[in-house]
A and B are shown apart, each in its own frame.
Chain A
């Protein structure tokens, strides 16, 4: 029973990191109908920048803020310089482009930051809480991880649902042509959408790095798990994506705990393939079929 609780807590904690990636993928999918395969690599890159800042003696939190800010800029620049020019072309062009960004970032990172695996600091202890003599199956960093992702989601929700900026962004995503004839500068909204998504990805990168360490392809698996979560959620639904991603986190935690840690990544791929084969529209989606 105690093991089950440990695996469950681990699963939820990891799942929240996947959820941040899944939500970022959904935001970009809804705004521009593109799967951004570079989402993980962008997060890796911003995490490296945070590490550079921290290594230069700055406090963790400054590195944290720098990572988020760089994420915002990196996402916005990617949309403006790379995605926009292929906007009117078949969606596959942009998808291949995002694969190109992934390869580029993973190739440039070792040149700038070194290719070896590096440890990454935590802002609060990642050793489980102890009450009296019993240790609880949860660490301060796990609480921070879950809390940070929840707060980010809440803020995004408020921006999208409660502000006029969010209303403009939603209109631009739902129906760009109508938004334009209503005077909304759709291009800016898409740039901002990519920026916010990459900011969320950057958060995931900061939260994942202490556990998976930092190296140029450290976010590859996290991206696959987040992607699986988003697909389970149907790609359209933010709630579905978060639920799906936490589900993936739990499933992988149980696989790795009860069967073997080596099998966890494989388990992720098995879930992804099963979902794509059996229910490509996602478990939470009842609408039209997706075409790629």
Chain B
């Protein structure tokens, strides 16, 4: 369970997140929707420790994440698939994947986890010794998710995975994600501008606007209710 409460972040004097509270149960996907600048990326970056909040708490199980360094938070089980995938393009596909689990002590299980990532996204296997700069957008997104999974996280944060992906490919990757969530009992926070794609896989959804949660509901209801969709999501 990833439990965010009263999270407030300000850049200088500008409030980016305003008392956001949200819990992401295990084995489920929570979509965070909203326009550009609504504070979606700030939310994931704060959970990951890249941004320091002014107030509030983020609990993963019994561990308080606020106040810890990004590397410590990663080691506690938070996987982060950053905006623009965050692949290190100077390294090979295999090196990127290995990076995901290097902090872990269990060398044998690291190899198993890498093998699992290749099974999850077979297109990566044939390109394993290729520099990541040569990958397509879809392959980069697969690599980023695969890399996060190599650490065997309990929570997974995805920041705009749909960015720059064609619809068919995106749907494929999202289907893989859904399988992962149930298999691994992951708490997933899915940040998306592409509400349609996010709602198709999410369990619950919140709409963020100017740093505040405007609306929270089950994804099914939100996707089904035309009035809500028009008002908050514009489709």
Which residues from chain A sit less than 8 Å from chain B, CB to CB?
164, 167-168, 170-171, 174-175, 177-186
- Can you give 28 contacting A-B residue pairs, CB < 8 Å? A164-B98, A164-B102, A167-B95, A167-B99, A168-B99, A168-B102, A171-B88, A171-B91, A174-B91, A175-B88, A177-B70, A178-B82, A179-B88, A179-B99, A180-B71, A181-B80, A181-B82, A182-B74, A182-B99, A182-B102, A182-B103, A182-B147, A182-B151, A183-B74, A183-B103, A184-B99, A184-B102, A185-B71
Residue B129 is within 8 A (CB to CB) of chain A in the complex: no
User: How long is the Cα–Cα vector from A47 to B195 in the complex, in angstroms?
Assistant: 64
User: What does DSSP make chain A's interface, helix, strand, loop or mixed?
Assistant: helix
Q: How many residues of B contact A (CB 8 A)?
A: 23
Inter-chain contact A183/B75, CB cutoff 8 Å: yes
Q: Cβ of A174 and Cβ of B95 under 8 Å apart? A: no
* Most chain B CB within a 10 A radius of its CB, from A164, A175, A181, A185: A181
Q: Does B48 contact A (CB under 8 A)?
A: yes
By a beta-carbon cutoff of 8 Å, the part of chain B in contact with chain A is 48-50, 69-71, 73-75, 80, 82, 86, 88, 90-91, 95, 98-100, 102-103, 147, 151
**With A182-B147, A185-B71, A186-B71 as contacts: A175 and B86 at CB distance below 8 Å:** yes
A167 and B102 form a contact (CB under 8 A): yes
Complex CA distance for A178 and B90, rounded to whole angstroms:
13
Contacts of A170 in B (CB 8 A): 90-91
Additional A-B contact list (11), CB under 8 Å, known A164-B98, A178-B86, A181-B49: A177-B50, A180-B50, A180-B70, A180-B74, A181-B86, A182-B99, A183-B71, A183-B75, A183-B103, A184-B99, A184-B102
| Chain A residues with CB below 8 A from B91, complex form | 167, 170-171, 174
Which partner residue on chain B sits nearest A176 by CB separation? B70
Set of chain B residues within 8 Å of A186, measured between Cβ atoms: 71
Evaluate contact between B88 and A184: CB separation under 8 angstroms. no
> Chain B residues near A164 (CB, 8 Å)?
98, 102
Q: How far is the CA of A184 from the CA of B103 in the complex (A)?
A: 6
> Least Cβ distance of B224 to chain A in Å?
35
The 6 closest A-B pairs by CB, nearest first: A183-B74, A183-B103, A180-B70, A181-B80, A178-B86, A183-B75
Chain B nearest CB from A174 CB (Å) reads: 5
Bound CA span A90–B127, Å: 38
How far, in whole Å, are A171 and B91 apart by their CA atoms in the complex? 8
Q: Is the CB of B151 within 8 A of A183?
A: yes
CA distance A230 to B98 in the complex (A): 31
Question: What chain B residues lie within 8 Å of A180 (beta carbons)?
Answer: 49-50, 69-71, 74
Write out the residue numbers on chain B whose beta carbons fall within 8 Å of the beta carbon of A177: 50, 70, 86
The chain A residue with its CB closest to the CB of B73 is A181
B88 contacts A178, C-beta separation under 8 Å = yes
A175 to B96, CA, bound (A): 12
Q: Which residue of A lies closest to B89 (CB)?
A: A174
In the complex, chain B residues whose CB is within 8 Å of the CB of A174: 88, 90-91
Contacts of B88 in A (CB 8 A): 171, 174-175, 178-179
Distance (Å) between the CB of B100 and the closest chain A CB?
6
**Chain B, residue nearest A188 (CB):** B71
Q: Is the CB of A181 within 8 A of B50?
A: yes
**Does the CB pair B99–A181 fall under 8 Å?**
no
Complex Cα distance A167/B97, Å?
A: 11
Which residue in B73, B82, B99 is a CB contact (below 8 Å) of A171? B99
Establish whether residues B100 and A182, one from each chain, have CB atoms under 8 Å apart when the complex forms. Answer: yes
- Complex Cα distance, B50 from A167, in Å, reads 22
CA distance A167 to B90 in the complex (A): 11
Complex Cα distance, B100 from A180, in Å, reads: 10
Q: A181, B98: Cβ atoms under 8 Å?
A: no
Cβ A183 vs Cβ B50 within 8 A: no
A185 to B68, CA, bound (A): 13
Q: What CA separation (Å) do A178 and B45 show in the bound complex?
A: 11
CB pair A181–B95 under 8 Å, yes or no, is no
- A182 to chain B: which residues have CB within 8 Å? 74, 99-100, 102-103, 147, 151
> Which A residue sits closest to B100, measured CB to CB?
A182
Chain B minimum-CB-distance residue to A175: B88
Report the bound CA distance from A186 to B71 in whole Å: 8
Question: A179 CA to B102 CA in the complex, in Å?
Answer: 10
A168 to B74, CA, bound (A): 15
Interface contact B48-A181, CB-CB below 8 Å: yes
A286 to chain B: closest CB distance in Å?
14
A184 & B71 in contact (Cβ 8 Å cutoff): yes
Q: Which residues of A contact B151 (CB under 8 A)?
A: 182-183
Which A residues are in CB contact (< 8 Å) with B100?
182
Q: Which residue of A lies closest to B74 (CB)?
A: A183
Give A161's nearest chain B residue, CB to CB: B95
A161 to B: closest C-beta gap in Å: 10
B144 to chain A, nearest CB (A): 9
What separation, in Å, do the CA atoms of A168 and B98 have in the docked complex? 10
A181 touches B70 (CB 8 A): yes
**CA gap between A167 and B82 in the complex, in Å:** 20
